[in-house]
Amino acid sequence: MSGKNSKALLLITLMLCITLAVYYSAAMLANAQQPTYTSGSCQNASGSGVLPYQREMGPSDVNVTLFNRYAIRTIYIGDYGLVTVNDTLLVANNGTATASSWIFYLAADVYPNLRYLAAYGNGTNLNVIGAPSFSSLVGMKVDFTSIGGLPINSSLLVTLIQQFSGLVSLEPGSQYVGLLFYKYVISPYSTASYNITVSLPSGAQTLEPVNMTAGTVNSFNCTRLGSFSNGKYDYIFSGGPLIEVSVIRRAEITVDGYIYTTETHRVRNIGPANLTSIHFLVPLSILPDSLTVGDSSGKLSSGNNGLIVSASFRYGVAPNWTYTYYVSYKTALDDYRVSQNGLSVLRLQPVTGYNGSATFEQFSLVLPPHAQLISTNQSFENAGIQDNKIVVTYTFRNVTFLNVGSIEFKYIEDIAQVFQRPILISFGVFAVGFIYIVTRKLFPRTVPVSIAREEEVKARGLTATLKEFSSNYEEKTALTLEMEKLMEDRRKGRISKRAYLEQIEHNRRRIASLTNGINEAKKKLVPANRRYATLIRQLETYEEERENARASLENLELRRRQGKVSGDVYNRLKYENTRKIEKATSGIDSIVVQLRQETL
């Protein structure tokens, strides 16, 4: 999704929050009084409470002349487990000096799951910086400096937007899922009036705390909420799908003025019921009829309504199973590119829009032939030359489409253009020479991992073989990853020994059968095309790297259980081997998806 589309979504969310805040403020402002700095309870709100260290803080630690005239918390539980919390507060300064900041806290048990945080004052983006923390609280400070502070006897509409993943989980022994979350903004200031609203995912119905169906439901209102109040609500509901998703995305600028994007989506169902369909976001500006969604067997039934694409799977994906599908589309390059001082400036959103958090996202931009990259505004993981084109790759983990933002690329479309412009001659010589040296020294020439689409499969008979090879490899990779997950579940006692052995044996038999099919296809593909031979050798290299890293990881776990490795060494080696597995798996996916594209 493009940067302007993601900003539009963020603006819509912000406007909704502000509209809701203004609606409540009309009724509350006249009656709001300044509460005292005490730990009073919230009326009509069961489960409210005060954190035990509330008495450790006093006027010398926080600016108690601030108070919240009202607060509105809206909790959106997304269709795939992403929890978005919007807090809108009218912060008042009843002191004798301008306030430079406003403090709030995140509970330590949910802070590791935080994926995005932003603050606004009267619609203006405000910096959020760290504040003193406690054993159970992580301090955050909203800085008012950029708007000149909060003057005495005045109020400021503060909006917080937070996104969390991994908080919605299966309820043990049931077909329900649950979310245990805090009712209030944890704040050292008193709040005159509070409203809490919950929005459930589509198709959901709660079991607790009250009988609710999908949509927005006002949970309760309360008044005179004491400082540091922190009660929780446990929402238990059915009908909400849960997934873990990883995406490999490749955007290639074509010489005819388009951006051709291909994506591999691997979705793991971690919910209680079969997963039969999915929806996600794409750029609003995709060209008509260019969108294709498919799996290893061909195209899937899909459709898009503006930004949102819905696709039905070929079969129901059972809990703990994985499904891989592919997306491709074209967009006009000029929708994302502008000219600036003789350079092309391209802004792209690298992260796919799921209403959930992606555990792994890899984004690669392929520049057109003869183009030269000058700079980017985010550090990339890798860069190299593939098929005489510069390829820049980024990797993100545990992200949503909000917390990465757009990446800006500045490049020269044709290096010869530089020397046709006298003003840029000296700059061009320096930039091109510098980039060339850096690219050659730091990022050695790599073996191509994609198939150029300019050459069709010459022999029609190879199409079926290529399709069989791609399908078998995809299924083998999915089964391998599933076996790794089964092993982890068994170690942690999440699955019985009998179920574990049965599933492992089933997967091993299937992998053996798939391997035979892969080897037979290799015998036909390797002698038929030199590029195929190169790619297959690279696949085998990735397979070997993944197996070696996985064996090292298993050996590391054994040494840890035997007490032969320290905690620091264990964590470092585990991270290194896990990264090797991820990179090898990504390499396999990158090659297989291009092979599959040849068969569509």
Q: What is the pLDDT of residue 595?
A: 67
Give the H/E segment covering residue 469.
helix 461-491
Cα separation, 584 vs 541, in Å, equals: 9
Q: What are phi and psi of 28, to 5 degrees?
A: -100, -30
In this structure, are residues 487 and 320 in contact, taking their beta carbons and an 8 Å threshold? Answer: no
Are the C-beta atoms of residues 204 and 239 closer than 8 Å to each other?
yes
Answer whether 313's CB lies under 8 Å from 358's CB.
no
Q: What is the pLDDT of residue 589?
A: 67
- How far, in Å, CA of 112 to CA of 89, rounded? 24
Residue type, 164: F
**What pLDDT sits at residue 459?**
46
Q: How far apart, in Å, are the Cα atoms of 15 and each of 8, 10, 86?
A: 10, 9, 11
Contact assessment for residue 163 and residue 10, using Cβ atoms and an 8 Å cutoff:
no
* pLDDT for res 35: 27
Give the contacts of 209 (CB within 8 A, at least 6 positions apart).
219, 233, 234, 235
Q: What is the pLDDT of residue 172?
A: 76
Whether residue 17 contacts residue 86, with contact meaning beta carbons closer than 8 Å, is answered with: yes
Strands 66-77 and 191-208, by their bridges, are parallel
pLDDT at 598: 59
Stretches in the chain below the pLDDT threshold 50: 1-61, 213-216, 218, 417-459
Structure token digits, residue 55: 């008495």
User: Which pLDDT score, from 0 to 100, does residue 442 have?
Assistant: 47
Cβ atoms 243, 321 nearer than 8 A: no
In this prediction the pTM is: 0.57
